[in-house]
Structure 1
Amino acid sequence: MISTVRFYSVTSFVLAFLFFSIELQAYTPEDNFTISCGTTGIVFDGQRTWTGDADTKYLSGGQGSTVLTEAATQDPSVNQAPYTTARLSRFQFNYSFPVSAGPKFVRLFFYPADYPSFPRTHASFSVQSNGFTFLKGFNASLNADAEATNTIFREYVINVNDGEILILSFTPSQPNSYAFINGIEVLSMPSDLYYTSATHSTGFKFVGNTTLYSVETRFALQVEYRIKIIGQEISPLNDTGLFRKWAGDEEDYLIKQNPQNNDLSADLDGKMNITVNPDYVAPKELYRTARNMGTNATLNKISNLTWEFPVDSGFTYVLRLHFCEIDPNINKDGDRVFFIYIASQLAEDNADVMQWSHNQKGLAVQRNYAVLMPKDNTQKKVNLSLQMHPYATPDKTIYTDAFLNGLEIFKISQDESNNLAGPNPDPVQTPHSNKSVPTGKISRGSGETIIGMIVGVVSGVVLISLVVFFVFLSPISRCGPLLFSMTKSTKTHNSSLPLDLCRRFSLLEILAATQNFDDVLIVGVGGFGHVYKGYIDDGSTPVAIKRLKPGSQQGAHEFLNEIEMLSQLRHRHLVSLIGYCNDNKEMILVYDFMTRGNLRDHLYNTDNPTLPWKQRLQICIGAARGLHYLHTGAKHMIIHRDVKTTNILLDDKWVAKVSDFGLSRIGPTDTSKSHVSTNVKGSFGYLDPEYYKRYRLTEKSDVYSFGVVLFEILCARPPLIRNAETEQVSLANWARRCYQNGTMAQIVDPSLKGTIAPECFEKFCEIGMSCLLEDGTHRPSINDVVWLLEFALQLQEDADRSENADIVTDESNEIKRGN
Structure 2
Amino acid sequence: MDTTCIRFALGAILLHLLLLSLPNLSIAEFIYSPHEIFSINCGSNSSLSTRDGRNWTADIKFLSENKDSVAAPALTPSTQEGPYTDARFSHSQFTYSFPVSTGPKFLRLFFYSTSYQNFHRSKAYFSVKAGPYTLFQDFNASLNADADDDPAQTDILFREYCINLKDGDRLNITFIPSKTSQHPDSYAFINGIEIVSMPPFLYYTNPDDVDISGWPQLVGLNTNPFPIENNFALETNYRLRVGDQQIPASQDTGMLRSWDVDNKYVTTQSVLSLDIGIGIKLTFTKIPNYTAPDTVYRSVRNMGSNGTINMGFNLTWQLPVDSGFTYLLRLHFCQLDPDMKNPGYQSFFIFVQDQLVEKWADILGWSDKQEGVPVVKQYVVFIPGNQQETLNLSLKMHPNPTSLAKDAQINAIELFKINNTTGNLAGPNPDSHPKTSEVLLPSSNKKSKGSTRTLTAAVAGTVSGVVMLSLSVAFFLTKRKKNMAVDEGSNKKGGTSRGGGSSSLPTNLCRKFSIAEIRAATNNFDELFVVGLGGFGNVYKGYIDDGSTRVAIKRLKADSRQGAQEFMNEIEMLSQLRHLHLVSLVGYCYESNEMILVYDFMDRGSLREHLYDTDKPSLSWKQRLQICIGVGRGLHYLHTGTKDVIIHRDVKSANILLDEKWVPKVSDFGLSRIGPTGISRTHVNTQVKGSIGYLDPEYYKRDRLTVKSDVYSFGVVLLEVLSGRQPLLHWEEKQRMSLVKWAKHCYEKGILSEIVDPELKGQIVPQCLRKFGEVALSCLLEDGTQRPSMKDIVGMLELVLQLQEGDVNGVMESGGDYEYGDDVFSSSHNSVHVSDYSKSTGLSTTRDGDRSYGSNDFVLIPDDVFSEIKDPNGR
TM-score range, shorter chain: 0.5 to 0.7
Gaps of 5+ in 1: 160-165, 195-212, 216-220, 253-258, 260-266, 291-305, 313-318, 332-360, 368-377, 382-403, 412-419, 803-819
Q: 1:461·1:555 contact (CA, 8 Å) conserved in 2?
A: no
- Deviation of 1:676 after TM superposition, in Å, equals 4.0
Q: Tell me the distance in 1 between the aligned counterparts of 2:579 and 2:81.
A: 66
- Deviation of 1:788 after TM superposition, in Å, equals 0.6
Deviations 1:381-423 (A, max 9, x none): 9xxxxxxxxxxxxxxxxxxxxxx99799999xxxxxxxx9x99
Q: 1:483·1:582 contact (CA, 8 Å) conserved in 2?
A: no
Q: Tell me the distance in 1 between the aligned counterparts of 2:43 and 2:88.
A: 8
- Per the alignment, residue 672 of structure 2 pairs with 664
- Per the alignment, residue 274 of structure 1 pairs with 284
Q: 2:471·2:669 contact (CA, 8 Å) conserved in 1?
A: no
Q: 1:676·1:698 contact (CA, 8 Å) conserved in 2?
A: no
Q: 2:236·2:416 contact (CA, 8 Å) conserved in 1?
A: yes
- Per the alignment, residue 47 of structure 1 pairs with 52
Find out whether 1:237 has 2:250 as its counterpart: yes
- Deviation of 1:87 after TM superposition, in Å, equals 7.1
- Deviation of 1:786 after TM superposition, in Å, equals 0.4
Find out whether 1:679 has 2:688 as its counterpart: yes
Matching residue within 419, 430, 433 for 2:432: 430
- Per the alignment, residue 86 of structure 1 pairs with 86
Matching of residues 644-655 of structure 1 within 5 Å = 644-655=652-663
Deviations 1:555-591 (A, max 9, x none): 9998667434312211122121111224455443212
Find out whether 1:72 has 2:76 as its counterpart: yes
Matched residue type, 1:747 = V
- Deviation of 1:630 after TM superposition, in Å, equals 0.9
- Per the alignment, residue 623 of structure 1 pairs with 631
- Deviation of 1:794 after TM superposition, in Å, equals 2.3
Deviations 1:424-455 (A, max 9, x none): 99987529999874566999xx998x999997
Q: 1:406 to 1:246 in 2, by over 3 A?
A: same
Aligned length: 664
Matching residue within 709, 714, 720 for 1:706: 714
Matching of residues 518-667 of structure 1 within 5 Å = 518=526, 521=529, 531-548=539-556, 551-553=559-561, 562-602=570-610, 611-667=619-675
- Per the alignment, residue 466 of structure 1 pairs with 475
Q: Residue 551 of structure 1: SS of its match in structure 2?
A: coil
- Per the alignment, residue 840 of structure 2 pairs with none
Q: Tell me the distance in 1 between the aligned counterparts of 2:750 and 2:137.
A: 65
Find out whether 1:747 has 2:756 as its counterpart: yes
- Deviation of 1:658 after TM superposition, in Å, equals 1.8
Q: Residue 511 of structure 1: SS of its match in structure 2?
A: helix
Q: Residue 553 of structure 1: SS of its match in structure 2?
A: coil
Matching residue within 136, 140, 143 for 1:142: 140
Matched residue type, 2:464 = V
- Per the alignment, residue 768 of structure 2 pairs with 760
Matched residue type, 1:589 = L
Q: Which has the larger radius of gyration?
A: 1
Q: Residue 140 of structure 2: SS of its match in structure 1?
A: helix
Gaps of 5+ in 2: 1-6, 149-154, 166-170, 203-228, 268-274, 301-318, 344-371, 379-385, 390-411, 437-443, 811-875
Matching residue within 15, 20, 26 for 2:25: 20
Q: Residue 626 of structure 2: SS of its match in structure 1?
A: helix
Q: 1:289 to 1:524 in 2, by over 3 A?
A: same
Q: 1:281 to 1:17 in 2, by over 3 A?
A: closer
Matching residue within 800, 810, 825 for 1:792: 800
- Per the alignment, residue 111 of structure 1 pairs with 112
Q: Tell me the distance in 1 between the aligned counterparts of 2:755 and 2:125.
A: 71
Deviations 1:38-67 (A, max 9, x none): 9999998652477999xxx999xx9xx999
Q: Tell me the distance in 2 between the aligned counterparts of 1:363 and 1:518.
A: 55
Matched residue type, 2:25 = F
Q: 2:90·2:188 contact (CA, 8 Å) conserved in 1?
A: yes
- Deviation of 1:787 after TM superposition, in Å, equals 0.1
Matched residue type, 2:801 = L
Q: 1:481 to 1:754 in 2, by over 3 A?
A: farther
Q: 1:656 to 1:284 in 2, by over 3 A?
A: same
Q: 1:708 to 1:440 in 2, by over 3 A?
A: farther
Q: Tell me the distance in 2 between the aligned counterparts of 1:709 and 1:106.
A: 44
Deviations 1:562-621 (A, max 9, x none): 434312211122121111224455443212344444444555666766655434332221
Q: Tell me the distance in 1 between the aligned counterparts of 2:72 and 2:533.
A: 62
Matched residue type, 1:79 = Q
- Deviation of 1:143 after TM superposition, in Å, equals 3.0
Matching of residues 400-439 of structure 1 within 5 Å = 430=432, 437-438=446-447
Q: Residue 475 of structure 2: SS of its match in structure 1?
A: coil
Q: Tell me the distance in 2 between the aligned counterparts of 1:546 and 1:140.
A: 33
Worse-matched range after superposition: 637-646 or 226-235: 226-235
Q: Residue 20 of structure 1: SS of its match in structure 2?
A: coil
Q: 1:555 to 1:278 in 2, by over 3 A?
A: same
Q: Residue 466 of structure 1: SS of its match in structure 2?
A: helix
Q: 1:472·1:496 contact (CA, 8 Å) conserved in 2?
A: no
Q: Residue 702 of structure 1: SS of its match in structure 2?
A: helix
Matching of residues 371-520 of structure 1 within 5 Å = 430=432, 437-438=446-447, 456-459=462-465, 460=468, 463=471, 465-468=474-477, 485=492, 487=494, 500-518=508-526
Q: 1:67 to 1:140 in 2, by over 3 A?
A: farther
Matched residue type, 1:86 = D
Deviations 1:325-368 (A, max 9, x none): 98999x9xxxxxxxxxxxxxxxxxxxxxxxxxxxxx98999x9x
Deviations 1:132-189 (A, max 9, x none): 99999x9999334346552245789999xxxxxx9999999999999987668798x7
Aligned Cα RMSD in Å?
7.5
* TM-score (normalised: structure 1): 0.57
Q: Tell me the distance in 1 between the aligned counterparts of 2:563 and 2:126.
A: 39
- Per the alignment, residue 353 of structure 1 pairs with none
* TM-score (normalised: structure 2): 0.54
Q: 1:652 to 1:721 in 2, by over 3 A?
A: same
Q: Tell me the distance in 1 between the aligned counterparts of 2:177 and 2:723.
A: 69
Matched residue type, 2:545 = D
- Deviation of 1:114 after TM superposition, in Å, equals 2.8
Q: Tell me the distance in 1 between the aligned counterparts of 2:435 and 2:540.
A: 40
Q: Tell me the distance in 2 between the aligned counterparts of 1:281 and 1:178.
A: 38
Q: Tell me the distance in 2 between the aligned counterparts of 1:721 and 1:180.
A: 49
Deviations 1:297-330 (A, max 9, x none): xxxxxxxxx9998999xxxxxx99999998999x
Matched residue type, 2:86 = A
- Deviation of 1:744 after TM superposition, in Å, equals 1.0
- Per the alignment, residue 851 of structure 2 pairs with none
- Deviation of 1:634 after TM superposition, in Å, equals 1.8
Worse-matched range after superposition: 792-801 or 267-276: 267-276
Q: Tell me the distance in 2 between the aligned counterparts of 1:273 and 1:192.
A: 21
Q: Residue 25 of structure 2: SS of its match in structure 1?
A: helix
- Deviation of 1:228 after TM superposition, in Å, equals 4.8
- Deviation of 1:544 after TM superposition, in Å, equals 3.0
Q: Residue 650 of structure 2: SS of its match in structure 1?
A: coil
Matched residue type, 1:71 = L
Matching of residues 331-346 of structure 1 within 5 Å = none
